[in-house]
Amino acid sequence: MAIEQFFEIEPGGVIKTKAAGARVFFVSTRGWAVIEKQLTKVFSSGAAVMLNEMGSSYGRGVAKEVMGFAKDPGTVLKVLEELSAAAGWGSIEVKGDIGRGEVLEVVITDCAFCADGELGPQPRCQFVGGVTAGVASEAFAAAFRATETQCLRKGDTHCVFHLERAGPSAE
Ligand SMILES: [Zn+2]
């Protein structure tokens, strides 16, 4: 997935998406690991809630943007899969009944948010889980909750999220 296929690098420190002209920026995985570690230190278990909420808002935001071009959930998810690979998040694949938004599973290979994070017994991708739930909520117009069943940081080969409907749309 070529980065220049999706992003326009302008002079003066500005990078924009080619499709929407929306500005983006890089975040280093080491820097991200420091953010997570510090949030956990300061807010303990509240950090997971916060990261999930951040992810979910972000997911809704990017999904809304893509839905300005494509309404069909399958297309929206495909575009976001391609964008996330181009943006270095890792390789993301959404499985399940994408037409109806049922039994959805999201598999991430080489998750960037795990790249420099600490290992442990628990799954740790609360931010990415939030993103997947936020995207699904917009794409299927219903609230979704993500549960991470496998995570690179607990020794699994991939990060895997199960998406479940959490009730009516949480607008
Ligand atoms: Zn993970």
In angstroms, the Cα distances linking 22 to 6, 65, 127 are 11, 9, 21
On whether residue 3 sits in a domain, the answer given is: no
On whether residue 90 sits in a domain, the answer given is: yes
CA of 51 to the centre of ligand 1 (A): 13
pLDDT > 70 fraction of the chain, expressed in percent and rounded? 97
Nearest to residue 36, comparing CAs of 160, 147, 153?
153
pLDDT digits (tens, 9 = 90+) for 20-31: 899 999 999 999
Domain that holds residue 69: 29-165
CA of 11 to the centre of ligand 1 (A): 35
Other Cβ atoms less than 10 A from the Cβ of 158: the count is 17
Q: 59: domain CATH number? A: 3.30.1380.20
On whether residue 36 sits in a domain, the answer given is: yes
CA of 163 to the centre of ligand 1 (A): 14
Q: Using an 8 Å Cβ cutoff, are 8 and 23 in contact?
A: no
Please, what is the angle between helix 126-140 and helix 73-86, to 10°?
Answer: 150
> Taking the model in full, what pTM does it have?
0.93
If one counts the domains in the chain, the total is 1
On whether residue 2 sits in a domain, the answer given is: no
pLDDT digits (tens, 9 = 90+) for 44-56: 999 999 999 999 9
| 46/127 Cα distance (integer angstroms) | 13
SS3 161: strand
Q: Using an 8 Å Cβ cutoff, are 44 and 52 in contact?
A: no
Residue type, 45: S
